Chains A and B, each alone.
Chain A
C-alpha cells in the first residue's frame, strides 16, 4: 500500500465527507420533525356501516375484501359498556328472517357465525326473554364484513359494535389497501396512542 496520498484518495475522501454531511443534515432534519408510530384505524364517524341514517342497505364489506392480510385485519368489536344486552339482538339475529317456534328469528345475521350469545346476570328461570344476553364476537371467525355493524345502530341498536383495525393482525402498510378503496375515506392514519 502506497504511503503517498493520491489525488484520487483526496477526491474520494472529500466527496465522502460531503455525502456524510448531507446525510447527517437530512437525518437531523427528519429526526427533528419525527413523530411516534402511526397506525391505521377505522373512523366510525365516517364508516358507512356505522353512520346513522343508512339502514336497510347492504353492509359495505370493503374492509374484508381489500385487506392484504388473508383474513382481514379489521374486525367487528363490541363495546360492552354500550351494548344493550337485548334478548333479540339485531346484529345477532337477522330480524328480516321468519320467526321460529320459540319466537326468535330463524336465521343468524353473521355469515361466519362469529357472534356468541349467552345469558348473563340474574337469570329468570321461567322466561328466557326476561334475561340479559351478552354478545361476544369470536375474532378468529369474524372477517369484518360489517353486517352486524350496519344493524347495530339507531333505530334497532345502540351502536356498540364498530369495525376496528386489530393491530396484532394489521401489518401497517405504508398505504392501507382498504383506505385506498374506501369511498368515505374512513380508514385514516392516527398516532398509535390515539388509535388504540
Chain B
C-alpha cells in the first residue's frame, strides 16, 4: 500500500480516537457522580474505571496513529536534494593549474594541409572551407597548421586571424578529449546553467580565460540551445545528453564518461 493510503488510514484512526475521547468526556459530564442505591453505585464505579481504561488505550492508539500519519505524510513534502555518496568525491583536489595555457603536442601538419589545399583550392575564397577542414580534422586550429596554410596559399595571417576569431566555432586552443556542451538557452539559463558551468569549471580546475582542463580531458563549451528544454539544465558530453542536472550530478555525468 502506498504511503498516501497509510497516511489516510492513520489519519482516520487518529480522528476516531479523538472522537472517542471527546464523546467519553461529554458523556461523563452528564453522568451523575454518585447515587444512594448500591447497585447504581457499583455501576457508576465500574463505568468510571472502564472509561479510564478506554481513554488510556485510546490515548496510546492516538499517539501511535499520529506518529504513523506524520511518518507517511512528510514523505512527499519536500524534494530530496541528491547528495553524493561520498562528499569527498565532489571535493576533488586537483593540482593547481599550470601558469600557461596547454601547449599543443608536436604533430606533422604539412601533409594534411597540403592535401586540403589540393582539394579545396588556394584562393582567398577557400579560407573558410580550409579552416573548417583543419578544424574538423584536428578539432582546433593549430598555429603550426595555420602557418603552413599561409605559406602555401594566398591567404594572409591577418585574414586568418580575422576569420577564425569572427566565427565562434573556430577554436585556436587545443580541445580536450571530451567536449562538454553546457546549454545556456532560456530554459536552462533560468534553471541554473550558470551554476552548472561554474561548478564544472571548478571541478575540472579550468583556469580563468581557458575552457579546457590542464589534463586536456574535457572542454567546457557554452552553447545556445540543445533542444531538450523540459530536462533543463542540460549538458551534452560528446553528443550524449544529460538532463535535470544539479552541480553535483553534472560532475557525476562527466565521471560516467571517463
Indicate yes or no for A touching B, C-beta below 8 A.
yes
- Chain A residues contacting B150 (CB-CB under 8 Å) are none
A107 to B42, CA, bound (A): 12
Min CB distance B25 to A, Å, is: 11
Q: Which residues of A contact B55 (CB under 8 A)?
A: 70
Besides the known contacts A70-B52, A107-B38, A111-B33, 10 further A-B residue pairs in the complex with CB atoms under 8 A apart: A70-B55, A107-B36, A108-B38, A111-B41, A111-B45, A112-B41, A112-B45, A112-B48, A113-B41, A113-B42
Q: Are A113 and B52 interface neighbours, CB within 8 A? A: no
Known: A70-B52, A71-B52. A113 touches B45 (CB 8 A): yes
Does A118 count as interface, using CB distance less than 8 angstroms?
A: no
- A141 lies within 8 A of chain B by Cβ: yes
Which secondary structure dominates where chain A touches chain B?
loop
0 or 1 for each of B17-53: is its CB under 8 Å from A? (1 = yes) = 0000000000000000111101001101100110010
Q: Which residues of A contact B49 (CB under 8 A)?
A: 140-141
The 0/1 profile, CB within 8 Å of B marked 1, for residues 99-117 of chain A is: 0000000111001110000
B51 to chain A, nearest CB (A): 10
Chain A residues positioned under 8 Å from B45 (CB to CB):
111-113, 141
> Closest Cβ of chain B: how far from A29's Cβ, in Å?
41
Question: What range describes how many residues of B lie at the interface?
Answer: 10 to 19
Complex Cα distance A54/B141, Å?
Answer: 115
- Chain A residues near B42: list those with CB within 8 A: 113
A-B contacts, 9 listed (Cβ < 8 Å) = A106-B38, A107-B36, A111-B41, A111-B44, A112-B41, A112-B48, A113-B41, A113-B45, A140-B49
Give bound CA distance, A141 to B45, whole Å: 8
Instruction: Scan residues 140-159 of chain B and give those whose CB is less than 8 A from a CB of chain A.
Output: none
- Which residues of chain A from 66 to 120 have any CB-CB distance to chain B below 8 Å in the complex? 70-71, 106-108, 111-113
Instruction: Report the separation of the CA atoms of residues A140 and B48 in the bound assembly, to the nearest whole angstrom.
Output: 11
For B35, list chain A residues within 8 Å (CB).
111
Task: Specify the chain B residue showing the minimal Cβ separation from A140.
Answer: B49
Complex Cα gap A112–B33 (Å): 10
Please list the residues of chain B having a beta carbon within 8 angstroms of any beta carbon in chain A: 33-36, 38, 41-42, 44-45, 48-49, 52, 55
Q: 1/0 per position for A55-73, CB-CB distance to B under 8 A? A: 0000000000000001100
User: Hey, which chain A residues are within 8 Å of B48, CB to CB?
Assistant: 112
Main secondary structure of the interface of B (DSSP, over half): helix
Within 8 Å CB of B38, what residues of A? 106-108
Which residues of B lie under 8 Å from residue A113 when comparing CB positions? Answer: 41-42, 45
Q: Which residue of B lies closest to A145 (CB)?
A: B34
Q: Is the CB of A111 within 8 A of B34?
A: yes
- Chain A min CB distance to B34 (Å): 5
Complex Cα–Cα for A85 and B41 (A): 25
Chain A, residue nearest B38 (CB):
A107
B162 to chain A, nearest CB (A): 50
Contacts of B34 in A (CB 8 A): 111
| Bound Cα distance from A107 to B36, whole angstroms | 8
Chain A residue numbers with a CB within 8 Å of B44 are 111
Chain B residues within an 8 Å CB radius of A107: 36, 38
Q: How far is the CA of A107 from the CA of B52 in the complex (A)?
A: 26
Complex Cα distance, B45 from A140, in Å, reads 11
Q: What is the chain A residue whose CB lies nearest that of B37?
A: A107
Closest partner residue, chain A, to B51 (CB atom):
A70
Q: How far is the CA of A190 from the CA of B127 in the complex (A)?
A: 106
Complex interface: chain A residues within 8 A of B41 (CB) = 108, 111-113
Q: Which residues of B contact A71 (CB under 8 A)?
A: 52
| B231: min CB distance to chain A, Å | 40
| Chain B residues in 8 Å Cβ range of A141 | 45, 49
Alpha-carbon separation in the docked complex, A106 to B38 (Å):
9
Task: Report the Cα distance A119→B55, complex, angstroms.
Answer: 37
What is the minimal beta-carbon distance from A143 to any residue of chain B, in angstroms? 8
Task: Report Cα–Cα, A70/B25, bound state, in Å.
Answer: 12
